[in-house]
Amino acid sequence: MGKKEKTSFQLKTPKGTKDWEGTDMVIRDRIFSTITEVFKRHGAVTIDTPVFELKEILAGKYGEDSKLIYDLADQGGELCSLRYDLTVPFARWLAMNSSIKHIKRYHIAKVYRRDQPAMTKGRMREFYQCDFDIAGEHDPMLPDAEILRITSEIFESLGWQGKYTIKINHRKILDGIFEVCGVPTEKLRTISSAVDKLDKSPWEEVRREMTEEKGLDPTVADKIGTYVNFKGGRDLLSRLSSDGTLSANPSAKKGLGDMMLLFDYLDAFGVLDKISLDMSLARGLDYYTGVIYEVVTEGSAPASTGNTEGQKLQRTTKKEKSASADVDEDRSADPTVGVGSVAAGGRYDELVGMFSGKGQIPCVGISFGVDRIFSITKARMEKENTKAVRSNEVDVFVMAFGGKGFTGLLKERMEVAKQLWDAGIKTEFSWKVKPKLPQQFKAAEAGGVPFAVILGEDELAEGKVKLKQMGLSEDNPEKEGVMVSRDELVAEVRKRLKNLTDGLDEAAQMVAELKVQEKEDVPGEAPAIPTVS
């Protein structure tokens, strides 16, 4: 028999994907748990749908972004595609379950887009979305207001105190602006898609795309330009409402009325100071019908926005890009690429009806991009020199010591660990039969374990153990630990864990209050969109 040839291949993950491990997993899991807790607080139930859908289900729902859908190979069965988001599968599920007329639903799962990746900025081809949607007939703008309240709660719970802005607009206002400016009906969506690029491209570049690539009359484009650069709050709403040409348009009038009502509700929910009415926000997806929004923070926009060199880079035509750029190339180091929005959504009242044909189920929702939130969170931790994240959540390390003839007290350590596990306390111990005390302390310190339970033969004979809080200062009276009865160990550990948690929460609150006092909002002034430093 001849020699078996070795197969040569490169061990790597596909472009736009990554393995998750260690502290990155800890940070991401905390983001998941924080988001889920807020979702449940607002009465949501969860569902799950297949990772791939029939190709015809996804077709025609995403406008120009449809080219980013991953189609699966035809193997003699149904033509399928990997899901692009969680919204269209939810609408399909509602259409198939016609008995459900009202639901608050959340869904946390991976989605897939063949976009050009920028890995360190959370722009990936496989990534998690956390969706929250409200479906059913309700009085106007109430579900929309609660969605935005949920958005604020999540980012506050993540510790982003004030370091984000919720940009908001209304599709009907935009359509009204396009109509009064003279945009042909068949070009409404494609021009809307161009306007949506104003967060990362200068107006000159967007105008060029509308006129040269999409055939819009330059005079019409200039009229659009007088509107889409407006940003503000209630003052901007009043200004638009007093525009006779715009308010005479039925679509714009309906949208402005919705927004005035929504702003009243957001004021009641305490969210209005996080909101910026941004007329350039368009959301390129075809299925939105009403209010649209996205959340931005520092790092969302490309670092080169506003820079002459950056604008030169962004003016490269699509033909030039396709000829020179590798769509698989990681653009993490590209200054013209930012993280993008960290959450986005809006109202989509007609999507379910596209599937069922038996009437509409109005829906509104938002999707949180976990990988983008992660990239911002990690960058902030590094910038602020945040203490290293623990790779596990162990609260107690059980260890033992002794002199000559020390047996290791393995079974005794196992019994104490069992006692703590039975009480629901996260516990570890060394898997060596006769471990050395310094090695046990080193293992506890490496894991950031806050407490050690130390066993000694003499103490065990008296039914006692030593409970030590790790990291205390030399002058602390409990530096060497305190003796605790085995019968009282669980209660004492729980009490000290609670005291430790309460102390951390109090310190965090003090820091948050200090940050809030650093910059007070100017009355009547709209919140500024964070810029990249």
Query: Which domain CATH number covers 172?
Result: 3.30.930.10
Last residue of a domain, one of 356, 383, 410: 383
Matching residue, tokens 């990291």: 471
Q: What is the mean pLDDT of residues 137-145?
A: 95
Q: Encode pLDDT of 4-36 as tens digits.
A: 666 677 889 998 899 998 888 989 999 999 999
Are both 327 and 425 inside the same structural domain?
Answer: no
Query: Could you give the CA distance from residue 197 to residue 283 in angstroms, rounded to a whole number?
Result: 9
Does residue 513 form part of some domain?
A: no
129 is in an annotated binding site: yes
Does the annotation flag 264 for ligand binding? no
What pLDDT is recorded for position 319? 43
Beta bridge partners of 363: 135
Per the annotation, does 85 bind a ligand?
A: yes
Q: Is residue 219 scored above 90 in pLDDT?
A: yes
pLDDT tops 80 at residue 365: yes
- What pLDDT, on a 0 to 100 scale, did the predictor assign at position 4? 61
Q: What is the pLDDT, as a whole number, of residue 332?
A: 73
Is residue 201 in a domain? yes
Confidence of residue 138 (pLDDT cuts 50, 70, 90): very high
Instruction: Find out whether 486 is annotated in a ligand binding site.
Output: no
Grade residue 501 by pLDDT with cuts at 50, 70 and 90. Answer: confident
Lowest mean pLDDT segment, chosen from 51-60, 73-82, 276-285, 312-321 = 312-321
Nearest to 362 by CA among 371, 352, 370: 352
Higher pLDDT, 446 or 319: 446
**Do 245 and 190 sit in the same domain of this protein?**
yes
pLDDT of residue 325: 57
- Please indicate if the annotation marks 288 as binding a ligand: yes
Res 302: pLDDT: 67
SS3 content of the chain, % helix, strand, coil (to 5): 45, 15, 40
Residue type present at position 500: L
Quick check: 521 pLDDT over 90?
no
Domain of 485, in residue numbers? 396-500
**Do 254 and 350 reside in the same domain of the chain?**
yes
**Residue 262 counted as domain residue:** yes
Domain CATH for 489: 3.40.50.800
Q: Answer yes or no: is 404 within a domain.
A: yes
Q: Is residue 533, in this structure, part of any structural domain at all?
A: no
259-272 confidence digits (pLDDT tens): 999 999 999 999 99
Q: Is the pLDDT of residue 395 over 90?
A: yes
For residue 113, say whether it is annotated as part of any ligand binding site: yes
Cβ atoms of residues 429 and 418 within 8 Å: no
Please give the helix or strand (H or E) that residue 508 lies within, else none: helix 489-518
- Domain contains 519: no
Query: What's the rounded mean pLDDT across residues 175-204?
Result: 88
Digit-coded pLDDT (tens) for 311-364: 443 444 344 444 445 777 877 777 767 678 899 999 999 899 888 777 789 999
DSSP 8-state secondary structure symbol assigned to residue 84: S
What letter would DSSP give residue 71? B
DSSP strand pairing (396-400 vs 482-485):
unpaired
Q: Do residue 105 and residue 139 come from a single domain?
A: yes
Do 252 and 118 reside in the same domain of the chain? yes
Provide the pLDDT for residue 383.
80
In a domain, 467, yes or no: yes
- Distance CA(346)–CA(168), nearest Å, equals 9
- Same domain, residue pair 431 and 379: no
Q: Is the pLDDT of residue 159 over 70?
A: yes
Q: What is the CA radius of gyration of the chain?
A: 28
State how many domains the chain has: 2
Is 116 annotated for ligand binding? no
Most confident of 200-204, 221-225, 446-450: 221-225
Higher confidence at residue 518 or residue 166?
166
Of 173, 183, 177, 189, which Cα lies nearest the Cα of 253?
A: 173
Supply the pLDDT for residue 145. Answer: 97
Mark which of 332, 361, 383 sits at the end of a domain: 383
Whether residue 60 is contained in a domain is answered as no
pLDDT at 393: 86
d(CA 319, CA 334): 19
Query: pTM (2 decimals)?
Result: 0.78
